[in-house]
Amino acid sequence: MPSISSKEKPMDSMYYGDTLIVDLEAGRTGQVSFDEVDEAGPGLPAGLALYEKYKEFDPLIFGSGLFTGTPVPGACLGFVLGKSPLTGEPAVAPLNLFAGAEMKLSGFSMVVVKGASAKPVYLWLHDGVPDIEDASALAGKDTWDTTDGIRREMGEGLIQVICIGPAGEAGSDSAALSINYWGSGDTAALGAVMGRKNLKAVALRGLGMLDADEPEEFYDGALELLASAKVDTGFKSMCSALGAPDLDAWLSPIAHRRRACFACPATCATFVKYNEAPSVMESTDVEEPGMLIANAAAALWLMQGGWDVEAACRAMEAMAREGLDMVRGARELSETPLTDAGKITAAVKALEGSTAARWTVAEPAAPGLFGPWVPPLGGYESWLEANRIGYSLGICPTFLLLCGTDTSRLLELCVPAAGLETGQDEIAGMYG
């Protein structure tokens, strides 16, 4: 258990309010003060404590780490935790891009979704208000239309939508939850759990601000860490780390821009254009010029399978739209390179029936709690530590591994952030 410094209760800062309990069966929400969350430790350890408490209800836990949503470099990470249909064990999916930060700002420290709804619904979490909304009109829609539909209905394009596509609705073992349009690092088929719950999406938006115990010290510390991060990283480093330095060159003919997640100096994602020239910078009439490749491992499988880059990206778009696990899907598709659009669509659709649970990267850990989303940089122990610290503090583990962050300095920031004194061993201890 982490020790407590000046505050009566740690983590009063950096988090909003109580834990939200969403009972989909009853169509009700309630908020509880859950002391075990504080005792367990920040981020995922708190989520695991909630999972244990509610596991008879097949819960999905949505949460964020201590620093998620703050200026600490890499502080983009939230998580979804649930029982993986693939293993029957608890597993986590990352909420990166801007979803983790918005999770934090939506006004809830942790959200437990239990039971299943009789009809399709989505959760609209905004500024501390939990609403269960009818999703009948979204049923059967792919992740792109679902994201657009919710954003249109709520009137704001920055709403972060964690959703499922047809694969998740069908409860497919190949289903993954998607962060907006772009898929996710869900390799545990938690998208299928959402489908079983008739939970089409969780939409997040908050306009609040986070507080720190010692705001100036915390902010200065965050800036120091940013200055010390190796920022000449990003997609190229990611490719090298995956053992595929040529992946960057393969994507480059259709690469339009690099993108980073919230508060991260590493531009790991690449937006590719294949429906118009990648050199076009202005907005045009082309409605969908391309997609964001936020999952380098999926692209790697297709490249190694001999796919043409444009066809591969179209296949990844199709998988993202269907709400499929792109890494496992890409591994299956890699065996038969395709170029015909109709055949690509059919092959992707066929993945929904796949029950193959092929773990590709980070074999030593998979299919454990963390899964293979984070590339195995620097050996298993480093990988495991980065996951543990990352999911506790809300820092992307890939950033920690890629950018050489000073972990002890990062942990020291817990004090000005939230009056929490903790260390590497204590964090490890939080995972049992």
Partner 1 sequence: MKGRTRRAASHPALAGYAAAFKSVPSVAVYCGAGASHSWIWFTDLLERLGIFDVRFVSHGEILHGGALDASDFLLVGGGDTYEMAGSLGEEGAAIIEEFVRDGGLYHGSCAGAYLVLDGVDLEPFTPFRLITGDMLNVMHEPPPARCLEHKYLAPYGRDWVFHPVYGEVELRPGPAADGLSVVNAARPLGAPLFGGPVLRIPDPQCRLADYAGVTDRAAFLWPRVDAERLITGRQAVAVRSLGEGTVVASGPHLEHPLFPLANALLAAVFARHHQKRVAAGPLPRATGETRARIEPDRVAPIAGYEVALLEIKRQVSNARIVGSGLEKMPVTWKIGVKVWEPEKIRMFLEYAWDRLPYLQDYAARGLPIPIRKLEALALGYGEVTGLAKTLKLAVESGEDSQAEAQTLLTGLKELTASFLSLYFRLRLEEQWRTAARYRGTDAHG
Closest distance of CB 206 from partner 1, Å: 8
Residue 281 interacting with partner 1 (CB under 8 A): no
Residue 132 interacting with partner 1 (CB under 8 A): no
Structure tokens at 178: 């998607």
Q: Are 418 and 14 in contact (CB under 8 A)?
A: yes
Q: Pick the piece of the chain touching partner 1 (CB under 8 A) from 122-130, 133-141, 184-192, 269-277.
A: 122-130
Residue 155 interacting with partner 1 (CB under 8 A): yes
Amino acid identity for residue 36 in this structure:
E
Q: Please state whether beta strands 110-114 and 160-163 pair in parallel, antiparallel, or not at all (unpaired).
A: unpaired
Nearest to 276 by CA among 257, 256, 260: 256
Burial status of residue 73 (CB atoms within 10 A of its CB: 0-12, 13-18, 19 or more): buried
DSSP 55: G
Binding mask 190-219 for partner 1 (x = CB under 8 A): ---------------x-x-x-----x----
What's CA 403's distance to the chain center, in Å?
19
- Of the candidate residues 25, 35, 156, 406, the single one contacting partner 1 (CB under 8 A): 156
DSSP 324: B
Closest distance of CB 29 from partner 1, Å: 11
Q: Which of residues 373-392 bind partner 1 (CB under 8 A)?
A: none
Residue 157 interacting with partner 1 (CB under 8 A): yes
Residues 11, 422: Cα–Cα separation, whole Å? 12
Q: For the chain, percent helix, then strand, then coil, each to nearest 5?
A: 40, 20, 45
Q: Please state whether beta strands 19-23 and 110-114 pair in parallel, antiparallel, or not at all (unpaired).
A: parallel
Residue 249 interacting with partner 1 (CB under 8 A): no
DSSP 177: -
Closest distance of CB 155 from partner 1, Å: 4
Residues 274, 122: Cα–Cα separation, whole Å? 32
Closest distance of CB 148 from partner 1, Å: 12
Residue 129 interacting with partner 1 (CB under 8 A): yes
Closest distance of CB 152 from partner 1, Å: 8
Question: Nearer to partner 1 by C-beta: 107 or 183?
Answer: 107
Question: Nearer to partner 1 by C-beta: 128 or 423?
Answer: 128
Question: What CA–CA distances, in Å, run from 64 to 45, 232, 233, 319, 331?
Answer: 11, 27, 25, 26, 30
- Of the candidate residues 22, 91, 99, 159, the single one contacting partner 1 (CB under 8 A): 159
Amino acid identity for residue 54 in this structure:
Y
Question: Nearer to partner 1 by C-beta: 205 or 321?
Answer: 205
Kindly state the number of chain residues that form the binding site for partner 1, as judged by CB under 8 A: 15
The SS3 assignment for 3 reads strand
Residue 126 interacting with partner 1 (CB under 8 A): yes
Question: Nearer to partner 1 by C-beta: 145 or 310?
Answer: 145
Residue 154 interacting with partner 1 (CB under 8 A): yes
Binding region for partner 1 (CB under 8 A): 126-129, 131, 154-159, 205, 207, 209, 215
